[in-house]
Amino acid sequence: MRTKLFLAFLVVIVIALVSNVIFERLTMNDFDEYIGGTKEDHRYWILASTEGSYQDGQWDTTLLAESIHWAMMLGFDARVVDEEGREIIDSHRVMESLPPAMKRRMESLIHIHAAEGEFEQYPLFSEGKELGTLFIRPVKSDESVAVKETIFKKRGKEFLITSFIIAGASAIAIAVFFSLYLSMPIKRLRTAAERVAKGDFSTRVKSVARDEIGNLADSFNYMAEALEKEEALRRHLTSNIAHELRTPLAVMKAQVEAITDGVLENTRESLETVRGEIERLTRLVEGIEDLTKAEASFFVPGDYQTVNLGEVLKGIELSMDPVFREKGLRLTLLDRGDFAVTVDLEKLERILRNVISNALKYTEEGGLRIDYGRDGKDFFVELEDTGSGIPDDEISKIFTRFYRGTAAPGNGAGVGLAIVKELVTVMGGRVEIRSRIGEGTTVRVWLPTKHPQPATGDERARD
């Protein structure tokens, strides 16, 4: 990119150079045309003045001498002949007729004797009658127009060349600066992307500018953070799976080896043990599948929609009530009225069903009460059961993957509350738990009522 930017600036410089040359040529051509037009005007003035010197059928020598004098002042050597070719007056005779002081001044400025070149002829007319011919040619002078023209052209070219050198040098300096300045963030992003590609998901790009490149850096940081979290979850999950699979597999291996070696006499009991471990593995795989599905939703933008929280909870109550009745328990939803919330409905239902299912496992008498409300922009759903309760030293562990408490029934994989915790965190909420042994557990889930915006790189760094 740096090379492309520099080449782009060089193209601009070349275009400026070509434009400068074209401008110089056009300027000089316009100047030459102006000088040529001025000289042509001078000739016309001399011609008109000379023709005006013919009055009442004859030449007025005084006016004619003034016309020739005027021609000399304009830098011309002039002479007039009649229609028969006889010379009437010329510049030398006019110069000789001037007063001494004026003559000296004129001779110092205009060198009539140094006039060179062919005369240009202009016929003279008065009322359609040809009077004679005017002969003129340019003369040399110390301050001639030609000298001034040369000086002007030279200075004009020097000015254009100097201005181009200054502009070109400035453009090159700016090209180098901007190519380095603009390409530096892109270079940092490329380096960071290469590090992420090699597996370093902790890489972040510092962004200061609030422009397209800054937004790109924020998006890159958000992507790297998501990949880092996903990689951490994958490693954690792999470690947990290996740990959970090791025990039942070891038991099954020992039982099979004992049966094969004839150590165990009661083969039926051994096979029952193996079958129990197989069921445990099956539940573990199902739990892993649920966890995988949940994790897949962590990195997918939620489908946020505005719903009536009361109606959502009523639907969950109706679907779960038969399960509670089958176990002889009550499922009660308090009526707190209807109010709208903007939330990812799929994640919300997954959270509530996991909490309800977990309460059902640990409750033998009474039932579950569901309450809800709101506080500012946040809302809560509270689930209070009458189960066995959770020991104080286990409350901080129940959200750990595959953790099963001491009072846990034998048909759980220990992933339900872990999914709840991670989904609530992804949605920008929090979970509060209160519990007493023998009295029950209360779980309150707080969630914001609108879609949380992804944090910028600086905000995530502060977090």
Among 81-85, 100-104, 142-146, which stretch is predicted with the lowest mean pLDDT? Answer: 142-146
pLDDT at residue 407 above 70? no
For residue 308, the model assigns a pLDDT of: 93
Does residue 160 carry a pLDDT above 80? no
pLDDT number for residue 100:
87
Q: Which of 6-15, 126-135, 340-349, 360-369 has the lowest mean pLDDT?
A: 6-15
Q: Are 334 and 373 in contact (CB under 8 A)?
A: no
Quick one: residue 354, left, alpha or beta (phi over 0 = left, psi -120 to 50 = alpha)?
alpha
- Residue 368, pLDDT score: 93
pLDDT at position 463 is: 37
For residue 273, pLDDT over 60 is answered with: yes
pLDDT at 286 > cutoff 70: no
Torsion of CA 303, 308, 312, 314, to 10 degrees: 180
Specify the pTM.
0.42
Residue the block writes with tokens 């099956």: 282
Average pLDDT over residues 391-420: 64
pLDDT at 114: 66
For the chain, which domains are there? 2-147 (3.30.450), 208-299 (1.10.287.130), 301-463 (3.30.565.10)
70-84, 140-154, 430-444: lowest mean pLDDT where?
140-154
Contact partners, residue 127, CB within 8 Å, separation at least 6:
none
Q: What is the mean pLDDT of residues 282-309?
A: 68
pLDDT at 410: 46
- Most confident of the following: 263-272, 404-413, 432-441: 432-441
pLDDT band at 171; cut points 50, 70, 90 = confident
pLDDT for 455 equals 40
Residue 371 pLDDT exceeds 90? yes
The mean pLDDT value of the chain amounts to: 78
Q: What is the mean pLDDT of residues 28-54?
A: 83
> What proportion of the chain, given as a percentage, has pLDDT over 90?
12
The pLDDT score that the predictor gives to residue 366 is 92
Residue 227 neighbours by CB under 8 Å, 6+ apart: 196, 201
Q: Which residue has the higher pLDDT, 379 or 223?
A: 379
Assign residue 215 a region (left: φ > 0; alpha: ψ between -120 and 50; beta: otherwise): alpha
Tell me: pLDDT of 256 over 70: yes
CA distance 252 to 256: 6
Q: Which pLDDT value is given to residue 453?
A: 45
Of residues 75 and 319, the one with the higher pLDDT is 319
Tell which residue, 225, 187, 226, 220, has the closest CA to residue 205: 220
Write out pLDDT tens, residues 190-242. 888 888 888 888 888 887 667 777 788 888 888 888 888 777 767 766 776 67
Annotate the chain with three-state secondary structure: CHHHHHHHHHHHHHHHHHHHHHHHHHHHHHHHHHHHHHHHHHHHHHHHHHHHCEECCEECHHHHHHHHHHHHHCCEEEEEEECCCCEEEEHHHHHHHCCHHHHHHHHHHEEHHHCCCCCEEEEEEECCEEEEEEEEEECEECCCHHHHHHHHHHHHHHHHHHHHHHHHHHHHHHHHHHHHHHHHHHHHHHHHHHHHHCCCCCCCCCCCCCCHHHHHHHHHHHHHHHHHHHHHHHHHHHHHHHHHHHHHHHHHHHHHHHHHHCCCCCHHHHHHHHHHHHHHHHHHHHHHHHHHHHHHHHCCCCCEEEEEHHHHHHHHHHHHHHHHHHCCCEEEECCCCCCEEEEEHHHHHHHHHHHHHHHHHHCCCCEEEEEEEEECCEEEEEEEECCCCCCHHHHCCCCCCCCCCCCCCCCCCCCHHHHHHHHHHHCCCEEEEEEECCCEEEEEEEEECCCCCCCCHHHHHHC
pLDDT tens across 172-191, in order? 777 777 767 767 777 788 88
- 288-292, 334-338, 430-434: the lowest-pLDDT one: 288-292
